[in-house]
Every structure is written in C-alpha cells, then in structure tokens.
Amino acid sequence: MLPPLPRLRLLAFGPAHIVMAVAALLLVLFVYSAVQTGAQSYRLSESRRALETELTELRLQRAELEGLRTYLASEEYIEAVARQQFGLARPGEIAVTIEAPASAGPEYAPGQRWWEALFGR
C-alpha cells in the first residue's frame, strides 16, 4: 500500500500579514519619493550654480560696457574721433594732412604667405 499523501495547507493571511504588506508598500513608496526629491534637489542646485556663474559673467560684461560707454561719452574720445576721422583741429592749431605715396612693397592677400607675395609663387 502507498503511504497517504500529505495534506496541502493553504497559506493563511491574517491581519498581521496584511499590515506588514501595507507597511512594506508604504516604505517602498517613501524611499522612492525620497530618492526623487533628492534627485530633483540635485538638479536644481546644479541649475542654480550655472545661473549664478552666468550672472557673474553678465555682471562683468555690464561693468565693461559701462566703462566703454563712459569712455565713448568723454571729451577725450570725441576729440580723438574729430581729429582722426574728420581732420578737425582746435582753434589756434593748424591741421596738416600728409599724403604718403603708394606702398612699393608687395601686397599680401588674406591667407597668403609672405614669401609667396615676395617671390611671386
């Protein structure tokens, strides 16, 4: 005769098991939320650092432009432009224009080597 088969026992889930399953699920959700929050915080801090660097560069550029604007509005610059571009002189000064003869040396084209212009190659 064959030995009797053992009885299969169904797993019984009691209230403690259900509470443990819900607690495990909540723990997983909490860890996921914490990781997402940390990743977002890191991305925001990187973005903030990049924006602060850009702001610093823009402030430097603005300071340079303010200095240039001040110089361009100065009497010194206006007088230099009047003398160089328009040939003007102050009262009591004599404006002299010197016309130099055309250059006898070789003319260089952009990208041309000096020896090519000199020896005609």
pLDDT in tens, 7-63: 776 677 788 888 999 999 999 999 999 999 999 999 999 999 999 999 999 999 999
Using CA atoms, how far apart are residues 105 and 64, in angstroms rounded to an integer? Answer: 40
User: How many structural domains does the chain have?
Assistant: 1
**Cα separations in angstroms, 6 against 1, 9, 11, 13, 21:** 15, 9, 15, 21, 29
How many of the other CB atoms lie within 10 Å of CB of 66?
A: 10
Is 76 a domain residue?
yes
Mean pLDDT across the chain, nearest whole number? 86
Using CA atoms, how far apart are residues 66 and 60, in angstroms rounded to an integer? Answer: 10
Is 116 a domain residue?
no
| Residue 28 domain boundaries | 15-91
